[in-house]
Structure 1
Amino acid sequence: MANTPQSKKRARQIERRTDVNKARRSRIRTYIRKVEEAIASGNADAAALALKTAQPELMRGVTKGVVHKNTASRKISRLAARVKALSAN
């Protein structure tokens, strides 16, 4: 357990940041799930719209340090490919 005043403060700060990061990560997952549900329903327009709203949210997670840049890019790329394949049919 933290002993010095500095380490006690850092523990409090980490606790607050953890809550913020957890909420942001959950929000990102929700947006991704909405895209996947739209793809599963077979609605190309809804899937494209969901992807368009999910992209900025994912990249915001990158700037806030919640998700790695390459991870976000990979997820966006794979979702975009699935949406494109859906609209091609």
Structure 2
Amino acid sequence: MANIKSAIKRVTVNNNNRVQNQSYKTDMRSQIKRVESFVESKDIENAKAALATAAKKIDKAVQKGIIHENNGNRKKSRLAQKVNELGA
């Protein structure tokens, strides 16, 4: 454990940030799984609605710096591709 006051504060701040980031990431993953489950059950309408929500969550995670921009774009692209294949 850190002895210096500033190091102790950094540990506390980092832990708080980690917990907050974890909730954003979990929420994002849940939305992605939701889209994939609708695609699995071939429910086009709900899949499109869930895709919009998932894209919003992914964008928010990118904005907060939780995931890299390219990673977010890749996730959105792959989800959109699955939904579009379902509609075709």
Give the TM interval when normalised to the shorter protein. Answer: over 0.9
| TM-score normalised by length of structure 2 | 0.97
The percent identity for this pair of structures is: 34
> Is 1:41 paired with 2:73?
no
Q: What per-residue deviation string (whole Å, max 9, x for no partner) do you get for residues 24-53 of structure 1?
A: 110000000100000001011111111011
User: Residue 76 of structure 1 aligns with which residue?
Assistant: 76
User: Residue 53 of structure 1 aligns with which residue?
Assistant: 53
The root-mean-square deviation of aligned C-alpha atoms, in Å, is: 0.6
| TM-score normalised by length of structure 1 | 0.96
Structure 1 runs not aligned, ≥5 long = none
Alpha-carbon distance between aligned partners in 1 of 2:14 and 2:5, rounded to the nearest angstrom: 14
| Paired letter, 1:61 | A
User: Residue 22 of structure 1 aligns with which residue?
Assistant: 22
